Structure 1
Amino acid sequence: MATRTRRPERREEPLSRQRIVEAAIALLDTAGEGALTFRALAERLATGPGAIYWHVTGKDELLNAATDAVIATMTADTTSTAGTAAATPQEAIRTLALGVFDAIDAHPWIGTQLARAPSQSPLLRVFEHLGRHIQTLGVPHPAQFTAASALLNYILGVGGQNAANARGHHPHTNRTELLNTTATAWAELDPDEYPFTRNVADQLRDHDDRTEFLAGLDLILTGITTRQNPTDPAHP
């Protein structure tokens, strides 16, 4: 009589908060916030919704945890960079800002989450690290909040707008085609009503979003440092 070979038992990775958050990020990236339900997440994890509730109390907590998981990587990277002898506060701010910009570009839902919950840890991580670098720059205490807030608002605003523009593209129109079409329309505007816009139409056609983002960031950093150390004695 033939004996049956017993199959080795399949060991499933135990359900954890980290696995749930990682699955939520994947679902958000592919289908957006509207598709993030505990039922859809349970199917992805091959478990029941009740098992997920054991680790996460609701969708708001899950969105916050997913956002924090991505942003924590950005702030950890800039902390490491800032700790090297070669890094300046300006370089550390650029590293952090570009990291958040790229994170919003890769995960468009993050921009909405950061703007929606200003008191939650993901946004506070970014604000805290910006503030530390502002302090290292030697910005006087009364101006530190304003400087950090201006940087934060710029990063979130431009990053969010860039992600929105990318999502708003027609599926059959690439970025180059869109910019060419828009630049052509700008160049054909009324010269008396839109002289400046017509004049920069070619720059729109050829610009790089990340390069322009960093250029704008440098303008703000220059303003912060110039105000801190004015060369004009009459400077307020």
Structure 2
Amino acid sequence: MYKPPAKAPVLQFIGEEQCCQFINQELDKYEGIREDLLRKCCKSYDPQQSMVVIEIPSCIHAVACAAFGYITDTWLRQSETLILSTVSASVCGKMRDNCEGRMIRPDGSLKLPREELPCGKSWKWPILVVEIKLSEPISHLMEDIIFWVDESDGDVKVMITVSISRGYKIKIQRWNLHRRPNRADPIPFPTGKIEITRSPNKKSPHKITENLTISFEDLYLRPKKPKSTECDLTFARESLEQMAEQIWITQEQA
């Protein structure tokens, strides 16, 4: 079974060459490609803090991304509406003190076509973002949530996280930000979740608690058309079980 490191290493480097040397050292522990390492492995870059976050690609992460993408693709076919899958396209945040904003690359994202956007909404930001984490510290997850919801001034309407633990448990959550009185910094809080736990008996159904539905209006920024096939995005049990099985099989074989 795959066992991620208890804590991600923090390394100081000078220049791109030394950064790539560190990445190559880490890649010796994994299977992976070594061409164009910075572009493919860079998760986020914050020029104000001179900090780059590197994620080494893994089979579990790739399988989870593809499985979640299948759920959204199935919904799009049922709804018969157009939305663009921008997958892991990078986005830069707001400039501060004449310095470029933080760049971050999601694990999945959806955008409305420009002509579908209401007046005043920027095409720069995806409408839905997915972040997939493998036993990652909660503080890292919170930073990503705050970036997507706060930096976009609300243009990112749906923020979804998929947390994969070593104990055959998967948690899918939707997040919003809570504005506190007399405090500038918002707090992320979950507004819906699904927990999937593997059954000890593989022939028995897995335990799936609660459910999660994302309204059509949150994704398309308009009501459904009368007498149309347009529908909310609902995470069906069958799709969730298929996603979980793919992730758990990969965990066992990694």
TM-score of the aligned structures, taking structure 2 as reference length: 0.28
Higher helix share: 1
Higher strand share: 2
TM-score of the aligned structures, taking structure 1 as reference length: 0.30
